[in-house]
Amino acid sequence: MTPRRGFDPVLPIAWLALFAFQWPWLRADLVPIHDTFYNFINFHVYYSHFFLERELVHWYPYSALGQPSAIQQVISFTPVDYAVALAGALLRVRDTMLLFKISVLAEQMVYVLGVVLLARRTFASRATALLLGVAAAGSVVWYAQLWFELRLFYLLPLVLYCVIGFLQEPARSERLWYAGLVCVAWGFGNPPYFASLWAVVLLLVLAAPLFARRSAWRAIVPRSRRSVVACAVFLGSAALFAYFGLRSLDDVMLREEGRDPTTGAVPLAVFLTYGGIAKLPAVIRGLLTGWPPQLPFGSGIDTSVYVGLLPLFALGLAVVRERAALFFGTLAAVAFVVAFSLGGRVSTVAYHLPTFDGYRHIGLVYGLVKALALFAAGFGVERVAARWLRLPDRAAGWIAIAAGVVAAAAIARSGLLGWAAAWPLALGLRVVVYLGLGALSFAATRSLATGLLVALAFDLGLYQASVLARAPRLSPEYLAKTHAYDVAPMAYRPLRTDEIDPASTLPEDQRSRDAAALVAGPGGQLYWNTHNFTHVDPCETPHYTEMWTIRVYRLLLLEKRDGVDADLGDRIGCTLPKLRLVAGAALFDTATDAREAVIAMQGTPRGPDTVIDVIRIPPGAPRPDPEPARPAAGRVDVTRFTPNGIEATVHVDAPGGAWLIYADAADPGWKAKIDGVPSWIYQANLAFKAVRVPAGAHVVRFEHRRGLHFVASYGVAGLGLALSAACAALAFGIGFPRRP
């Protein structure tokens, strides 16, 4: 008999609960802050350019004097982001903030999907899967810290789902390769140093089951066609993403507190203290009461631990009664992550494990604790599910449960009862709700399932209301400026601003003024990439800048050489235009000679015939004849500007030609064309780029396109879309399973 598609309401109900918890965040007056805003800025820049030009961004021209954007693509774009951005562009959606919020909601849907799938594979009861799904939907707090509060753990359940499926049916060895593919997807949109923590957590959870089923490992070698294809796809995907990620920092150095600029490693003292150290009393209080909504580590808005009282009770029951190896592995992972966060011996030992020396936020790991604790709680729920948590067989019962869960979540989440979360009696209130609804449910249906699910939704809705109450909101004054979140072409600024405060030297266009006001407004942002949103190009940014191109960094060091301040403003585009024609420059063949010339020129009085620019001739490039400086070499008119390049009409008056210097960081990915013909790019003033333009009128174009890495960026985006499609297929499969 051919199996037919049925319908399983567990996942849809969990997703409905998620929407009930999260719908307020779609409002215009609630916007992300802190690290989540950092990710939004990258989404805005990439989406705006793709919307207008149908290509990815490869260069960030504003702040840090220009740098490659590949690392931003690696750490900010998940497979879901690619899918939402493509759909938004096809539908011509201009509101990038709305699209970003939708993408975050979709990532939470993926997390809930993984929790439900893992529960259905591990536990027999659908009630267990539904309870864990609702708990997962209501325990995420993402508005300030997208990495640690969602992306650190959102694909962990799917990885476990695939590996456990392989252990249950070793003949289906392709599931192990599927787990590898999910790990590749997990790397999208996350800092690379998360991988070390993921590896230890997975090893602890799965060590005992893998040892107990060690005979299953004989099936790893691909034999079936499906397994061979899955293995090939995994290896190809991992190689593509690894190549793109490893090459994304070529010619870029890190300039972060305590971090080695080339390896990214941090010393033990920074590892143990930079992100804050957890305190057990605060963790326990957060587990029991959900107050304060976020734990007071790091910035105080970086991590949370509350998952609801019912999962916590179920976890305690499992600790007392459960003896499964998988449960104890999960419990060991919870214990390790908690101990790791305390900054003691466990943290010190972990620091010496491979690649852990790149991690420095040990106190901000409670998102992983939540995800692991929920899975462990499932073992306790399963202990009582068969007798006390029977779910209805008829559609009317499922509809009643769905309506009750959504209504309870929405009522509590609306904020009408948010005051209760701050009261000392909040814990007692939640207990009373559980007992009361549980008793009503048992009296009506002889099952606790409906009442406890509704009580859990109310409990987590109340928690989410307290989160919402703490979030900064935009006043009507700022709401009038939110048009700046819409798609916008990047505006060209011929001069960098001479002040470090962008608000004091804003350009004339209203869009940039409003964007700068939003950045400086409620929950103000502190990162360099905001300049690529405001389109303000400062000489020196007041915002935190952690990456520079190597050449720019070395040039800026000359400003403080031997303790003497030296003004480089004319060379870096602050007192002279960033794009300018020069007839007369000092020519050198080596980097050492060019550097010594720049040093010698510092402090030299400037006159109309003074040579102030240094050009380094690359090996094999034509060397022009020396020429005297001229006060005016011609005119430059910019005709097109995007993050990836600039095009200008150049009128050269000097009979022998002139140098067109662009005070934007040099990089191997830059290509230049004069009237459509490829041209040599010379290094100007140690850090920037220049081309030699003949006399007369010409069209010059600079474009950033770094060979194979350029192709790989599109490959990674395509891989992200494919992984999103696979996730959608998984959701369809669990929602509509085949039944005999």
Handedness of CA 674, 676, 677, 678 (dihedral sign): positive
Q: Which residue has the tokens 């509704």?
A: 454
> 524: how many CB neighbours lie within 10 A of its CB?
14
pLDDT, tens digit (0-9, with 9 covering 90-100), for 578-591: 898 988 888 888 88
Beta strands in 179-251, from DSSP E residues, in sequence order: none
Q: Looking at residue 387, what is its pLDDT? A: 79
pLDDT, tens digit (0-9, with 9 covering 90-100), for 275-293: 889 999 999 999 988 888 8
- Side chain identity at 282, as an amino acid letter? A
148/295 Cα distance (integer angstroms): 12
Indicate if the pLDDT at residue 186 is higher than 90.
Answer: yes
Tokens of 115: 């929790």
Q: Looking at residue 181, what is its pLDDT? A: 94
Helix (H, G, I), strand (E, B) or coil at 253: strand
Phi, psi of 606 (to 5 degrees): -95, 135
| pLDDT greater at residue 516 or residue 244 | 244
Q: Looking at residue 539, what is its pLDDT? A: 80
Q: Looking at residue 260, what is its pLDDT? A: 76
Phi, psi of 295 (to 5 degrees): -70, 145
Indicate if the pLDDT at residue 55 is higher than 80.
Answer: yes
Peptide bond into 655 cis (omega under 30): no
> 387: how many CB neighbours lie within 10 A of its CB?
9
Q: Looking at residue 589, what is its pLDDT? A: 85
Which pairs count as long-range contacts for 195-201, CB under 8 Å and 24+ apart, including other chains? 195/355, 196/353, 196/354, 196/355, 196/356, 196/358, 196/359, 197/152, 197/337, 197/340, 197/356, 197/359, 197/365, 197/368, 198/156, 200/336, 200/350, 200/353, 201/156, 201/333, 201/336, 201/337, 201/368, 201/372
> What is the DSSP pairing of strand 547-549 with strand 252-254?
antiparallel
Mean pLDDT score, 656-664: 91
465/10 Cα distance (integer angstroms): 24
In this structure, the dihedral spanned by the alpha carbons of residues 468, 472, 474 and 475, taken in order and rounded to 10 degrees, is: 100
Mean pLDDT score, 370-383: 94
pLDDT, tens digit (0-9, with 9 covering 90-100), for 302-336: 999 999 999 999 999 999 988 889 999 999 999 99
Q: Looking at residue 57, what is its pLDDT? A: 95
Q: What pTM was computed for the model? A: 0.93
Handedness of CA 199, 201, 204, 205 (dihedral sign): negative
Q: Looking at residue 597, what is its pLDDT? A: 80
| Domain assignments of the chain as residue spans, ordered by start | 564-709
Handedness of CA 571, 576, 580, 583 (dihedral sign): negative
- Which range is least confidently modeled, 102-106, 349-353, 632-636? 632-636
Please report which residue ranges of 67-143 form alpha helices under DSSP H. 70-76, 79-90, 96-122, 126-138
Query: 610 falls in which pLDDT band (50, 70, 90)?
Result: low
Query: Could you give the angle at the alpha carbon of 412 between the alpha carbons of 408 and 418, nearest 5°?
Result: 165
30/51 Cα distance (integer angstroms): 24
Query: 500 falls in which pLDDT band (50, 70, 90)?
Result: very low
462/458 Cα distance (integer angstroms): 6
Mean pLDDT score, 412-418: 65
Report the percentage of the chain scoring pLDDT > 90.
Answer: 50
396/444 Cα distance (integer angstroms): 14
Indicate if the pLDDT at residue 506 is higher than 60.
Answer: no
Task: List 670's β-bridge partners, or say none.
Answer: 704
Please report which residue ranges of 446-524 form alpha helices under DSSP H. 449-470, 476-479, 510-520
Average pLDDT, the chain: 87
Indicate if the pLDDT at residue 40 is higher than 90.
Answer: yes
In this structure, are residues 132 and 373 in contact, taking their beta carbons and an 8 Å threshold? no
For the chain, the first-to-last Cα distance in angstroms comes to 7
Q: Looking at residue 604, what is its pLDDT? A: 62
Question: How many helices (H) does the chain have, and how many strands (E)?
Answer: 26, 17
Q: Looking at residue 4, what is its pLDDT? A: 47
Query: 739 falls in which pLDDT band (50, 70, 90)?
Result: very low
Indicate if the pLDDT at residue 199 is higher than 70.
Answer: yes
Residues with Cβ within 8 Å of residue 580, at least 6 apart in sequence: 636, 660, 661
Tokens of 199: 């590896």
737/740 Cα distance (integer angstroms): 10
Query: 567 falls in which pLDDT band (50, 70, 90)?
Result: low
- Which range is least confidently modeled, 425-434, 483-492, 719-728? 425-434
Indicate if the pLDDT at residue 194 is higher than 90.
Answer: yes
DSSP state of 149: I
Mean pLDDT score, 122-148: 94
| pLDDT greater at residue 561 or residue 607 | 607
Q: Looking at residue 740, what is its pLDDT? A: 38
Q: By C-alpha distance, which of 719, 602, 576, 731 is closest to 661?
A: 576
654/658 Cα distance (integer angstroms): 6
* Total residue length of the chain: 740
Q: Looking at residue 738, what is its pLDDT? A: 42
Q: Looking at residue 3, what is its pLDDT? A: 47
Indicate if the pLDDT at residue 673 is higher than 90.
Answer: yes
3-state per-residue secondary structure call for 335-398:
HHHHHHHCCCHHHHHHHCCCCHHHCCCCCCCHHHHHHHHHHHHHHHHHHHHHHHCCCCCCHHHH
Query: 92 falls in which pLDDT band (50, 70, 90)?
Result: very high
Mean pLDDT score, 487-495: 91
Mean pLDDT score, 660-682: 93
Q: By C-alpha distance, which of 547, 624, 541 is closest to 254?
A: 547
Residues with Cβ within 8 Å of residue 527, at least 6 apart in sequence: 37, 38, 41, 543, 544, 545
CA 273 to chain centre: 23
Mean pLDDT score, 496-508: 58
Q: Looking at residue 104, what is its pLDDT? A: 97
Query: 734 falls in which pLDDT band (50, 70, 90)?
Result: low
Q: By C-alpha distance, which of 170, 153, 130, 133 is closest to 205?
A: 153
Indicate if the pLDDT at residue 502 is higher than 70.
Answer: no
pLDDT, tens digit (0-9, with 9 covering 90-100), for 225-281: 888 898 999 999 999 999 999 999 888 887 777 777 777 788 888 888 888 899 999
Query: 574 falls in which pLDDT band (50, 70, 90)?
Result: confident
